[in-house]
Chain A
């Protein structure tokens, strides 16, 4: 849409492989595709293969959300790991005391990591929070 409409990109569709686009070292926070640097105006923008487009502050906002989402994912994975190894420990109670200890150690360690992760996420000073302070 926007790229078709812009005078410097008349007739060129997103992802048509036209030369001159510069890949960045970043991935799209929405779809994980490669982001390319766009210099249609003086303002730096990023665009991915399918056409998600970001101005600088919007990119920061999207990245921040992405980091938080992935940290919650890590926390969930750790909690699940802790719960599952706890259940395994229960299942082997009658067969192997050493295996019980091993599973319980993994379960404990994962639970601790999950707790640390939750703290890290909740203490994170996000740009959004800082920005919202500027409402008069």
Chain B
């Protein structure tokens, strides 16, 4: 049996709503591990709680050194970078990246290195360009890059930056992201998303 994919999904300003949309539209037996980074300044732990209302999947705040489980959504706590190895997750008080901690690029880049073609990176609404270099790393390691359609994003800058700089595979409204993820990975998360690419959602046309 092939090993399951992981999904790294991240955003900044305006990302909570599309994140809810994605999480609430995933099947309750979705067999994929999902990692979430949202920029924020406060120490609140509400994001995990709020997301858990939206899905039957397990939603937990990521713990340093914890094993990665399937059918679980891991949320980066405030003020820690979240990175992954092929089996575990790590939290760190490392220097801010793109002015943020947690930042998106460390999660995306570590996932790219650890999981190669089995990573799907999803970049949602936000200012500036955190996530762009991370999506580039995911693409260079054979993974897949998805962005929220800038026209659908409250703050289009982050998806737009990725579209300008990275060969993004799909650019689509938030509501279409969950069905695409299920289509790409299969319910148990083991489908080869390469073979299914193109049959769900629509291909990015902004790629140049």
Contacts and interface: CB of A to CB of B under 8 A. Distances in A.
Interface of A: 1-2, 4-7, 10, 14, 30, 40-43, 45, 48, 50-58, 61-62, 131, 134-136
B127 A55 contact: no
B16 interface: no
B98 A54 contact: yes
21 contacts: A1-B83, A1-B92, A1-B94, A2-B103, A2-B106, A2-B109, A5-B110, A5-B114, A7-B140, A40-B133, A48-B95, A51-B95, A52-B96, A52-B97, A55-B130, A57-B128, A57-B129, A57-B157, A58-B98, A58-B130, A134-B157
Given A1-B83, A2-B109, A30-B96, A55 B137 contact: no
Q: Which 3 A-B pairs have the closest CB atoms?
A: A5-B110, A41-B136, A51-B95
Given A10-B113, A48-B95, A62-B99, 5 more contacts: A7-B141, A43-B165, A52-B97, A55-B98, A136-B154
Contacts, number: 101
A52 B95 contact: yes
Contacts of B161: 55, 57
Contacts of A14: 95
Interface residues of B, number: 36
Contact of A7 (B105, B113, B156): B113
B163 interface: no
Interface in B132-179: 132-134, 136-137, 140-141, 154-157, 161, 165-166
Contacts of A40: 109, 133, 137
B157 A2 contact: no
B106 to A, nearest CB: 4
Chain B CB within 10 Å, residue with most, of A5, A42, A51, A131: A5
Contact of A58 (B83, B99, B106): B99
Contacts of B157: 57, 131, 134
Interface string B106-136: 1001101110000000000001111011101
Nearest to B165: A43
Contacts of A57: 128-129, 157, 161
A43 B114 contact: no
Given A1-B110, A7-B112, A55-B129, A61 B136 contact: no
B132 to A, nearest CB: 6
